[in-house]
Amino acid sequence: MRNKINIRSIFYTITLLLYSAQWISAQNLEISHGPYLQYVTSNEVTIGWSTSKNTISWVEYYVEDGSNFYQKEREKIFDASDGLKNISLLHSVTLKNLKPGTKYAYRIYSQEVKEDRSFGKTVATRVYKREPLYFTTQPLKKDQISVVVLSDMHENTAKVGSLLKGVEWDKTDFVLLDGDFVDSFESESDLYGGVLDTCVNIFAQKKPLVIVRGNHETRGIKAHELKKYFHFPEDKYYYTYKIGNTFFIILDSGEDKADSDIEYNGFADFDAYRSEQAKWLSEVVKSDEFKNAEHKIAFMHIPPYDDNRGQEWHGDLEVRLKFVPILNKAGIDLMVSGHTHHFSFQTPKSEENNFPILVADHKTRYNLLIDKTGIKIKGIDIDSKEVLNMFIEKYK
């Protein structure tokens, strides 16, 4: 009898645990990370987020007019491809045909898709008794542009939080991570727990995040998947971004050592990639959009020139050989790089770079204020002290 009671108790215990597991599983759908804005232009924006279960997802939005979100049906744009709604843990929705210089309210939604293809619970950002999230598209003309640059954060969330204290968000157009925001992309926690969640909590739900790939983002078992988490125009790590009459070029400098280096385990092919990128850059600087821009600013993680003359690595020499000659002929106002973990400023030199190069260190936030007179640069350290204040006159 005692053995029968024990077996029955074990059976009941197992049954209870199974039901509990099913109940917990049914309850834990959530928006696990995000939302975060990217590539806000005068007529479009991309919104990214992730969920704890496979879902279909969409964004509802409207021109902010003071009305309650629940007042009427709002326009819906689904995360979809080729006529089918995507089923995924990662979600990205691009809103197009927006009005320039306009404030929009938005809300993200995700609905669980079960293994039998039936639908389950829906989760969304909250709008009940609180304001929805907002973004504002860029105007067609803009007299002043403000950019915040961080480089080489290497998953240090405390440092990111300290450096972003005191930012005037209502005057900021975007925040740019100039490479090496992870140490090595081995798991999602390196990305989310490292920097992205902190950016979301501080600004990225309302101000766009612009990504420059550094050499550390090319490392790790998930390095091939970085595009799944961020929006890159034309699905490339090198691209352009225009606000008003300022033209930004984002370049991908790749790895810093030769492709054959033992550290890359035979996976690197950056020399050919940089050559391909140089061909693209040659066409960009020929475009009317580039030529007619009032300001032209390039971002690239590895600087082509620094204070280390004679100690350059392979990556330094590659970007110097393949990108600088093109940019020298293009009338670039400024290049902003990182990588070295120390500040330097390279003045224009006719025999090397004929444009200034700001090399950002890893303990300073750089505020770029761009207007018709030129570019004002302020460096703010972790203790919120101003450590740099300089002005670059507009390129003649």
Specify the pLDDT at position 354. Answer: 94
The CATH 2.60.40.10 domain(s) of the chain lie at 31-136
Q: How many CB atoms lie within 10 A of CB 381?
A: 15
Determine the Cα–Cα distance for residues 116 and 105; give it in Å rounded to an integer: 34
Specify the pLDDT at position 308. Answer: 82
Structure tokens at 247: 């033209």
Determine the Cα–Cα distance for residues 139 and 42; give it in Å rounded to an integer: 6
Specify the pLDDT at position 129. Answer: 86
Specify the pLDDT at position 310. Answer: 80
Determine the Cα–Cα distance for residues 293 and 110; give it in Å rounded to an integer: 40
| DSSP 3-state of 56 | strand
Residues 6+ apart with CB under 8 A from 227: 235, 237
Specify the pLDDT at position 14. Answer: 57
Specify the pLDDT at position 120. Answer: 96
The CATH 3.60.21.10 domain(s) of the chain lie at 145-393
For 1-45, write each residue's pLDDT tens digit: 445 445 555 555 555 555 444 444 445 999 999 999 999 999 999
Q: How many CB atoms lie within 10 A of CB 127?
A: 16
- The residues of the chain scoring below 70 in pLDDT are 1-27, 395-396
Q: Do residues 176 and 210 touch, judged by C-beta distance below 8 A?
A: yes
CA atoms within 13 A on the CB side of 71: 10
Domain at 31-136, CATH from 2.102.10.10, 3.40.1390.10, 3.30.365.10, 2.60.40.10: 2.60.40.10
CATH of domain 145-393: 3.60.21.10
Cα–Cα distances in angstroms (integers) from residue 157 to residues 164, 186, 192, 333, in the given order: 11, 17, 10, 31
Determine the Cα–Cα distance for residues 288 and 282; give it in Å rounded to an integer: 13
Specify the pLDDT at position 13. Answer: 54
220's torsion region: left (phi>0), alpha (psi -120 to 50) or beta?
Answer: left
